A = this chain, B = another copy of it.
Amino acid sequence: MGVAPAFIFDLDGTLVDSVYQHVLAWQAGLQEAGIDLSVWRIHRRVGMSGGLLSNALLREAGRDLDAGVLRRLQEVHTEVFVRSFGAVRPLPGAIALLEHLTDHGVPWAIATSGHMATAGPSLKLLGVADSAVVVTHDDVQRAKPDPDLFLEAARRLGHPVEDTMIVGDSVWDLLAARRAGGLGIGLQSGGYGRDELQAAGAYRVYDDPADLLRHLDEVGVRP
């Protein structure tokens, strides 16, 4: 008999509708560095570690890595993102989903590749309690697609990661979920296509948190 599941959620694109603001904030940083990279290519990188993302974007643009450029890129990203945060909303069903899990005694955590500087406003928007398990890039050395964020979240929940549903909107979430040994669930609310999520190993794909909430019985939560 299996263990009842716990849930680990990605934040941007999974619980809050902030991916497109992140994408344009990275574009602003790249343009300041004199790098014109297509926005869809930036979109396909969002959700991974900011350091890896910067490296990958500069490599795609054919530029050498430079510590000063990388640091400035991340600074501009944070500044522009925080400035555009006024348009960011919780995704439909996000708050209800977390409440439902809490009410039914299902353990859950949030694990994001972002730092607390950008994750903080989103956590506040969701009304996440200070007592909730939240793991950010400040807590681990390597963010997604490395498994460290999810392993640390499972450890803090005291739950075996093999019995944990890991919910995310990007292929980096799903790749990290597989490396962590959890079961990946994809949400389309970050703007990735269904096939991209399935190809990265999603066990199931739903539209958004509201759609997942309506189908919790498919992923191990009994009514």
Contact = CB atoms under 8 A, between A and B. Distances in A.
Contacts of A40: 13, 17, 19, 188-191
Contacts of A194: 193, 195
A19 B27 CA distance: 13
Nearest to A192: B193
Nearest to A91: B38
Nearest to A190: B40
Contacts of A189: 38, 40
B87 A208 contact: no
Majority secondary structure, A binding face: helix
Interface in A39-55: 39-40, 43
Nearest to A86: B31
Nearest to A42: B20
A19 B190 CA distance: 15
Interface in A203-219: 208
A92 B38 contact: yes
A91 B40 CA distance: 10
Interface string A89-102: 10110000000000
A72 B40 CA distance: 29
A44 to B, nearest CB: 9
A36 B89 contact: yes
A196 interface: yes
Contact of A24 (B24, B28, B208): B24
Given A20-B43, A24-B24, A39-B191, 14 more contacts: A13-B40, A17-B38, A19-B39, A19-B40, A20-B20, A20-B23, A21-B24, A27-B87, A28-B87, A31-B87, A38-B92, A43-B191, A193-B195, A195-B196
Interface of A: 13, 17, 19-21, 23-24, 27-28, 31, 36, 38-40, 43, 87, 89, 91-92, 188-196, 208
The 7 closest A-B pairs by CB, nearest first: A193-B193, A195-B195, A40-B191, A20-B39, A36-B89, A193-B196, A17-B39
